[in-house]
Structure 1
């Protein structure tokens, strides 16, 4: 079904702010960064869009949670949007809100829609170190910030694998084993992938870090690049210590024309998809792929005409290397394919839930320079849990034949249909067990704090077990770069009242 021009949604303005102020007493608060980003997006469109703003989505804020972030943004802009929402936790949420904003315009429920977010964690952390009280807008002291413990199984909390830096290595190690790689080969791939991200960040004026890194500098542990959780070093994980704000403005083709916004500034949303994994990662059938990620990306390839090489601009979420490495394989792209136009969460910066807003800005800028091209914006949230992607294209296309965006974009049924049986979990066990996946957690001085193994019994049951730091022989097996520990046998025994122990055979 074709749409009238007043219902065809287009992105017309993007804006980003980066505050590199070193003195925390001079740092700008997230509210100011959001308002500046919105005004920068309006300037980018060269039209008075904010006066017509009637849809406002504010990304979940971490560094300085406000009592009413959307209300404060609206107050600063002098507007009263009909739709006003404060987001929930999730790195995919900006993609979801862009998708929903486009649908809102298509339904005639909004004329101008904004998605905006900002973080000032660099300044907040500096103020804490300096014992400085920031004179910012009132903070919501009752705000509950989810860390991962809240949606992890108690056994995962007991074993200390309930935050992103500790969980994602489980996917890293399981997937590299499935792909037939030694740990050294997997690390080399991660280093080359991350080096490419650093080069993209070095070209992006809004990046926090603008220095290209070599693969060796990224993967080699050192004083300034300590091990976090095996096999990830500091340069391989998201960097939240940034001050950044981003905003995207959408309107209809008819309104863009009425405001005099040239077609060369427009970017259409062609469609998208979303799906989730079970929130408790121990309730998943395996750890080497995500059925939800696969279903979402495959649907986006269909929207793009069945060929992922058509994506001239691409952003594959990059909180940790396993995510874009899995996504690249689903898309059937070569290792040399550019996976980010933004720079990645390690180098561009990771303003917590708001990175994909910045990625949308980078995608829009890239597509504007590539008439006839197609772009992919893919975000992820929690522990390989929530997945959302959009397919975008520059200009108006054939506006007279513009297809309606489907109201139902979830591909959950397709993801669920692929899911295999989930192994029964055992809490009390003694005997042999093979590694399903694992990681080793490190202290700030670079010494191992403990290891954690997810293993299978001979009957196929799943368990979780610790490897104490004192068991240097088992830790050496887990961190041997020229082998693949997944699949190795060991012995499980009781460590304490809450935890089991795994020892290499």
Structure 2
């Protein structure tokens, strides 16, 4: 098959992990971690690293947690993260971009890089990401804090953190200020739809995630390479404490890590010019990038139609079926995103192909917006070892808000386009639930979570008013209601909601 020389190929991938118990641990910055991963990606191409670094004309950088919102970076930061990394590598790209918040971003950027290369607006692209959360935690209470402040001159296209595309004043006021509580609402809504008890659902979550830890235990880049049993994952102990209902710690993404990842993508003509061996080339056969409705208006908080459409669209673009996939890496910050894609594709928790190549976010590590760049790196390596087979990467962002999929193979294929924009428009037109911000009166609990991480254990409630079915948010410290939410099953429970100057409150009726 004659392939257009502008067709993009992934030619290099790299990862790096620095663990707290490493003998030479010294607490690397975001820039240092990304530099180590980028060096590994350059080396992976099999060509001279210095020459290749000079050839990189476009860089996409992924945001770390410390620059993913209005909070300050406690140890300082670079004013131009991508250029700080490239300066260490000896490169001076014409264009660098800092991408908004979102775990779908690595896969979304692979697609964007491909489109840019096909259009002739780039030849050699690097995507990089890193997360120095363990460094920040390690130095939090120490007097010898490093200063990672850097000021680098040069162009930067900063797209902004855009965190408020996922949350707003209303949701923040009612406790949705972290991923565990946000996804807790989704998993409990899904449990409601399935009619399962608290115990039954926790067991299913543990059955889904425990096998991932076996993969993590063998991955040299894992931050927590420990195999866990189903019983360990589902049993609440001092070590496996509750974080936010329904999740004990071993079902929650491990975001306190020091990890970096990078990928190099270029046109076939650039790969030939630079001498990258063809056995390094991996093609993107299918892809998609869809956006969900805003959280509070979704008809079913236990479903994610955009994610389902994204999975099927990528397969359609690739021209294959789910049985043709050899490897999967499904974004696993919490069980909900994995359940969604498993249901969409008919995958069982014990599918012999496995659901992760890294080991999953709770065990491999959850380096923020850049996790799926590790998944892509693992997939590229697997595809080189399995020529002609296909690898599926599912990348999730926000509160199951955005989903991007990539299907990879060494089999040559021309660049293809997807119907992602059209499908996103269809999702936006799905029925919506009216939301009331100042509710009063009788209501029922639609879904919930409990914040064990607050000074006072607090219930977080999404409910429906009896009077008109509109959706509301409320919090509660009411002893009887919190007891029901932590020791029983509050789904469908009758409550009374009132509005205060500091948000809505709920009690049992």
TM-score (norm 2): 0.89
Q: 1:345 aligns with which of 361, 369, 372?
A: 361
Provide the secondary structure at the position in 1 that maps to 2:506: strand
- Give, in whole Å, the separation in 1 of the partners of 2:251 and 2:9: 35
- For 2:435 and 2:37, how far apart are their aligned partners in 1? 49
How far, CA to CA, are the matches of 1:414 and 1:465 in structure 2? 30
Alpha-carbon offset, residue 77 of structure 1: 2.1
Matched, 1:475 2:478: no
**CA–CA separation in structure 2 for the residues paired with 1:232 and 1:34:** 31
Note if 1:45 corresponds to 2:55.
no
Instruction: Please name the residue that 1:450 is paired with.
Output: 458
Partner of 1:123: 135
Q: Which residue matches 1:294? A: 308
- Mind listing any 5+ residue stretches in structure 1 that lack a counterpart? none
State the shift of 1:296 in Å: 0.9
1:391 aligns with 2:407: yes
Which position in structure 2 is the counterpart of 1:414? Answer: 426
1:56 Cα deviation from its structure 2 partner: 0.8
Question: SS of the counterpart of 1:344?
Answer: coil
Q: State the 1:212 CA deviation.
A: 0.6
Structure 1 residues 57 and 3 mapped into 2: Cα distance closer, same or farther (>3 Å)? farther
1:114 aligned residue (123, 126, 148): 126
How far the C-alpha of 1:139 sits from its partner, in A, is 7.7
Q: What's the offset of the Cα at 1:188?
A: 0.8
In structure 2, C-alpha distance between the alignment counterparts of 1:333 and 1:91, rounded to whole Å: 22
CA–CA distance in structure 2, aligned partners of residues 150 and 455 of structure 1: 22
Shift of 1:342: 1.0
- The alpha-carbon deviation at position 318 of structure 1 amounts to 0.9
Q: Could you give the per-residue CA deviations for residues 292-311 of structure 1, whole angstroms, max 9, x where no partner exists? A: 11221121222343522322
Contact kept, 8 Å, 1:197 with 1:347, in 2: the verdict is yes
Change (3 A) 1:42 1:154: closer
Distance 2:409 2:320 in 1: 15
User: CA offset at residue 258 of structure 1?
Assistant: 4.0
Match of 2:397 among 374, 378, 381: 381
TM-score, normalised by the number of residues in structure 1: 0.89
8 Å contact kept, 2:433–2:470 = no
Q: 1:207 aligns with which of 201, 222, 235?
A: 222
- The Cα offsets for residues 422-448 of structure 1, whole Å up to 9 and x where unpaired, read as 2342513112x222111111137xx96
Report deviation, 1:252.
Answer: 2.3
Q: Which residue of 1 aligns with 2:70?
A: none
Return the match for 2:290 from 262, 275, 289.
Answer: 275
Deviation track 1:203-233 (CA, whole Å, cap 9, x = no partner) reads 2111111111112212222222211111111
Q: CA 1:335 to 1:28, structure 2 compared with 1: closer, same or farther past 3 Å? A: closer
Hey, what's the Cα distance between the residues in 2 that align with 1:366 and 1:341?
A: 9
Is 1:147–1:163's contact at 8 Å kept on the other side of the alignment?
Answer: no
Deviation at 1:32, TM superposition (A): 1.9
Is contact 1:164–1:383 with CA below 8 Å preserved after alignment? yes
Query: How far apart in 1 are the matches of 2:161 and 2:459?
Result: 24
Q: CA deviation at 1:14?
A: 0.7
**Structure 1 partner of 2:12:** 13
Question: Which deviates the most, 91-100 or 14-23?
Answer: 14-23
State how 1:26-37 maps to structure 2 within 5 Å.
26-37=26-37
Matched, 1:361 2:366: no
Within 1, Cα distance between the matches of 2:159 and 2:262?
24
Alignment of 1:6-405 (within 5 A): 6-22=5-21, 26-48=26-48, 49-63=52-66, 65-138=77-150, 151-279=166-294, 281-337=295-351, 338-395=354-411, 397=412, 402-405=413-416
Q: Between Structure 1 and Structure 2, how many residues are aligned?
A: 487
- Tell me the SS of whatever aligns to 1:475: helix
